[in-house]
A and B are shown apart, each in its own frame.
Chain A
Amino acid sequence: MSVSKPEPQDVLDWLDDVPDPEIPAISLVDLGIIRDVAWRGDTLEVTVTPTYSGCPATSVINFEIEKALRERGVQKLELKRQLSPPWTTDWLSEKGRAKLEAYGIAPPQPAGGPKHCPQCQSTDVERLSQFGSTPCKAQWRCKSCLEPFDYFKCI
């Protein structure tokens, strides 16, 4: 029996359609957590790196990956966890950054704070809290339009 083996790039394209469970505006590939897709014999190995070590979305993410690939007909699948090098927001795709901003979440900046308010683009912003609604975000507020907003922490 011959088993069809989709190209790793095709698998990555499929995973680019799987939304992050906590921030559905971006895909798992945009988030930069899919580190590798490769065949080992007739088993497809997908290497995933966690964002934050305690992020409760991690198990949901694994479930979503498995579901998406099973639907595409992948029979033998192994999800591998890779800790090192640790995930960094530098791995967010350009597409992902733009989608975050359009969704109302300021994308990470090396300076450690948002470039501007994702609603009105004002640079007059202040931090409310270093932590936010998920481990990867902090709470900020725009002093021009007075809207609070999430900032994707730069790590």
Chain B
Amino acid sequence: MNTLHEFALRMGDNVLVLGHRVSEWCGHAPVLEEDIALANSALDLIGQTQLWLGLAADAEGSGKSADDLAFLRDAWDFRNALLCELPNGDFGQTLMRQYLFDAWHLIMLEKLTSSNETRVADIADKAIKEVSYHVERSRDTVIGLGDGTEESHARMQAALDYLYPYVGELFVSDKVDEAAAKEGIAPRLEDLRGAYDLAVAETMSEATLKLPESEFAHKGGRTGTMHTEHLGHLLTQMQWLQRAYPGATW
């Protein structure tokens, strides 16, 4: 097993798939400022994808590029957490998904800045600046809409109830994660949970939202065992051009 390749693939697929999802809002957001904010966040995530998938390709050493990995793999070869591929739903659900991911992402990147793999630490150093900015906005929006009108509160609670069962997967280690931790590439995922739970509990309390009590977690995205039915639909759109016109450039 090539631990660095597998680890970089997981980081890269998270931001690629979530970045594509967020980009689906382009031209459809409720107000112009939010449209621009969503497009900018998507752009940051796709930029980070180039770094992570570039590293994954280098580590694999098969001569593939980040683009090859993004556009020429099928659903079962993707290693993103399920949370990232879930549909946008309404604006509130999109921002709730963003917050639940951003809060994890920030804590993960903070740990990765001290990875003993320099290329990983360098990407984390770069990405953390963008992600600190993302979480500031997604947190403020979750609080604003949660502690907003009766309608926005109900929608945010529904979004949290739907999305929360997908959070657990971010903290469950398998052989790849254990090897990455052992080799000093990445932290133990379980060790991130305390800080995450604390941050999320504080945000949800300010947002007057109730965290679901069940600890049930949908899993299978990061390991590639089983994605949701939504990923395939996303890929048909994202990969269409390279599938229809292989090797097309412009």
Tell me the A residues contacting B by CB distance below 8 Å. 50, 52-56, 83-86, 88, 128-133, 135, 139, 153, 155
| 26 A/B residue pairs, CB under 8 Å, sorted by A | A50-B47, A52-B43, A52-B44, A52-B47, A53-B51, A53-B130, A54-B45, A54-B47, A54-B48, A54-B50, A55-B43, A83-B51, A83-B122, A83-B125, A84-B121, A84-B122, A84-B126, A85-B125, A129-B33, A129-B36, A129-B37, A130-B37, A132-B36, A135-B40, A139-B33, A155-B129
A86, A131, A133: most-surrounded residue (chain B CB, <10 A): A131
Residues of B within 8 A of A130 (CB): 37, 133, 136-137
Smallest Cβ-Cβ distance to B43: which chain A residue:
A54
The number of chain B residues with a CB under 8 A from chain A is: 27
State in angstroms the CA–CA spacing of A52 and B50 once bound together. Answer: 12
Q: CA A128 – CA B39 in complex, angstroms?
A: 16
Say whether B41 faces chain A, with CB atoms less than 8 Å apart: yes
Q: Given A129-B37, A135-B40, is A53 in contact with B136 using a C-beta cutoff of 8 Å?
A: no
Task: Determine whether the beta carbon of A86 is less than 8 Å from that of B125.
Answer: yes
Contact of B46 among A54, A83, A84, A88 (CB under 8 A): A54
CB under 8 Å from chain A, chain B span 12-37: 33-34, 36-37
How close is A54's CB to chain B, nearest CB, in angstroms? Answer: 2
Total residue contacts A-B, CB cutoff 8 A: 66
- Nearest to B129 among chain A residues (CB) is A155
A149 CB to nearest chain B CB (Å): 14
Give the contacts of B85-133 with A (CB-CB under 8 A). Answer: 118, 121-123, 125-127, 129-130, 133
**Which of chain B's residues have a CB closer than 8 A to the CB of A85?**
125
A83–B36 CB distance below 8 A: no
Interface residues of B in 136-176 (CB under 8 A from A): 136-137
Q: A53-B127, A129-B37 are in contact. List 7 more A-B contacts (CB 8 A).
A: A52-B44, A53-B126, A83-B123, A86-B125, A88-B129, A131-B41, A155-B129
Determine the residue in chain A with the shortest Cβ distance to B34: A129
Which listed residue, B34, B121, B130, touches A52 by the CB 8 Å rule?
A: B130
| Residues on the A chain within 8 Å of B34, using CB | 129
Find the B residue at minimum CB distance from A54: B47
Indicate which residue in A55, A132, A133 contacts B47 across the interface (CB closer than 8 Å): A55
